[in-house]
Structure 1
């Protein structure tokens, strides 16, 4: 698919276009990213190191907390000896820098915020995590950091080959909504909004507030007939289950885009079955912006290594090997308002290995199971991702929603919302599927409920540990 022609800054200079300044800046970064995506691991590390050292120097100059930590790790960014370190020695010292925990970010707060940004970094805003764990995190972010977030969002549009003339529907929370009832709240925009519309002409976009019954959301989707739909994976799951359960035919869709949550393993297959559309999952966070995008060719996730330095560590703090799952440690490279060096974001990821069929050499994640705080506790006291046979459970068509609650080390409750009562065989299938997946030592119960209520952010946790 040829690249779209950007907006022109001058009348008559349509092609090749000379874009206006904001678009030109984004396209300049996008052009560099088109080259860096094919760098070797060492080339990428060497290209990233000056940016990381500039961030460290800024943090050490303004914040005593980071000055002390960096010096203790042998990473004094103001020392000439530090610049002369080999890449291997540099990484050794970097690994000695203690991981910054979520609790530290919450408790230190002001001690991690700088008093003055470098020239050109703009003003300071704030991002707030969803707080689904009950403890939100507030992050100061600069205008420049937001600019980089936009540039990487453009990269995803290009990677996915999206038709910018299409209609784009987002189903998330609309804070402009004044009255909260069971009606539809829909806003229509002339274009996709930034960053896409800053650079290129686009089709219309729509923002649909998720706070409405699923049947009304589905009716609105049928009326709008979008080319792209972006929403939480858990909400997309409910939409698909409703359409399948009611025999509703959904309009053609070029792509469903899951954001804000880890996608359940069965969601891609369900999207193909019910909507005949591919699912694209993105890995982003309020603290960092884009961290990994799903590859159109290989289906795995390419780490956005030019924006964030991502490490995946095992329980002993060592880098995970391909195929191993560990804690995600992230260092955003461009946020000088609140430097986060080796921040443990609270997620899990499985390290992948190249080459990728697309030819890009960026680091690969095979899977992103979700948040570390949502792990299943085994009877032994150890933890693992919550595999409970959800694909087999959802083969029972009358199940509209499900939620798994772990109430103790030995007991799990399946909360089910059903269209009609399950037969004995269906109940037996659900229980056996869950017990087989959970393994020995677990008792499984079924609880029938009328509705599973979403949290205040619109996210819906299919698994919750209460022990």
Structure 2
């Protein structure tokens, strides 16, 4: 039984229709694809100019004339209540709603219409199929976080059951925990590994120390897909050696779609079917293939909420081998995370703080930016920019969340600033450890 597809269908996401649309796009020849892209770009702009007052205020002009005149949107534009940004005919009750991770330091709530979200899953399934992985039948070893509140925890666990996956904790990388991971691989026929890069690297380092090749204990493994953080070449080589399978680099954004995915030829293929990806300079001029600049993305199907020429906050290069129909990502700068090292000796993935900082991300847009620094083993500083100072009750909630996810007895400092220091690339690293690198 195709439980994954069935769960999407029961939640109102038309997965079969989305799959038919994707196949029709992929069957276009070069000329037909060029016409398709130009048509979709114009259609999505005109749709939001007609049906979305928020986008009208961003666009400022009354009608579309040419693509270069379409304004570039930033995350700051979107930091206002979601209801203000939805198109006519859409409400939080009839769309897919979620929050961005805040990995760039600019969190907000977003929405997708149900067909657009179905297309997202169709693209993901298509790309995983490059490695003979099927969401309806392949068993996943999942290295992700999980909400610790009762409702969120059981919702994710239920999704895990429907999706045929087992979730490993990224909150504890002690030897005892990692021994438990290895034991699970010995007794479960996993088809693939998927999750946060830094968490999976820690498991690979543990296997190296134990002199274990993972496929020797779990021979059903086919691939490892890493996401959400930068994949460095030495880490990739380590994982491929210790796992005995190819390591695949995924680049995506929850508010958009799967953006790029490495194919079996090790080409980082950009999603050109449902997204239009551009690289621009500091003056918002589109750069030719091979030049480094800001990544700007248009969601070609999201009618509920505009993501049109949306500056995602990353810097990258599309390779000179790119074409309109097959763009290739040569380089991506962004989204690296350190490990948090705690007084007990416990280690946790930097993206653990994604779940913690969700408690300060509110739909009213009060918190504009945030980042977290580990000053020493005991002390963490939460630095944020906001319209109003966090209240005592809010800071108590955050401290409680940190105790739930990490451990008690930590010192938490809150520091409100008017602006946060960014790297030369313009990225704001959500979590930084000032401890010596391990």
Question: What stretches of structure 2 of length at least 5 have no aligned partner?
Answer: 4-12, 357-371, 373-428
Instruction: Give 1:173's aligned residue.
Output: 145
Q: What is the count of residue pairs matched by the alignment? A: 340
1:343 to 305, 310, 335: 310
User: For the structure 1 residues 115 and 126, does the alpha-carbon distance in structure 2 shift closer, same or farther, using more than 3 Å as the test?
Assistant: same
CA distance in 2, matches of 1:176, 1:309: 36
Does the alignment pair 1:34 with 2:5? no
CA contact (8 A) 2:274 2:300 kept: yes
Instruction: Give 1:255's aligned residue.
Output: 223
Q: How does 1:42-441 map to 2 (within 5 A)?
A: 43-67=32-56, 69-70=58-59, 72=61, 76-77=63-64, 93-107=66-80, 109-117=82-90, 123-162=94-133, 165-175=137-147, 178=150, 193=163, 204-213=164-173, 214-215=177-178, 216-250=180-214, 251-252=218-219, 253-297=221-265, 299-354=266-321, 361-371=325-335, 403=338
Give how far 1:160 is off.
Answer: 2.7
Aligned partner of residue 457 in structure 1, secondary structure: helix
CA distance in 2, matches of 1:324, 1:318: 12
Give how far 1:68 is off.
Answer: 5.2
C-alpha RMSD over aligned residues: 3.9
CA distance in 2, matches of 1:188, 1:268: 31
Give how far 1:339 is off.
Answer: 0.8
CA contact (8 A) 1:314 1:327 kept: yes
CA distance in 2, matches of 1:144, 1:24: 10
CA contact (8 A) 2:14 2:118 kept: no
CA contact (8 A) 2:141 2:194 kept: yes
CA contact (8 A) 1:331 1:342 kept: yes
CA distance in 1, matches of 2:158, 2:44: 40
Aligned partner of residue 99 in structure 1, secondary structure: coil
CA distance in 1, matches of 2:18, 2:80: 35
CA distance in 2, matches of 1:188, 1:282: 24
**TM-score, normalised to structure 1's length?**
0.63
CA distance in 1, matches of 2:225, 2:133: 11
CA contact (8 A) 1:168 1:192 kept: no
Give how far 1:112 is off.
Answer: 2.5
CA contact (8 A) 2:353 2:431 kept: no
User: For the structure 1 residues 176 and 403, does the alpha-carbon distance in structure 2 shift closer, same or farther, using more than 3 Å as the test?
Assistant: closer
More off after superposition, 245-254 vs 140-149:
245-254
Does the alignment pair 1:456 with 2:420? no
CA distance in 2, matches of 1:50, 1:117: 23
**TM-score, normalised to structure 2's length?**
0.66
Bigger radius of gyration, 1 or 2? 1
Q: Which has the higher contact order (CA 8 A, sep 6+)?
A: 2
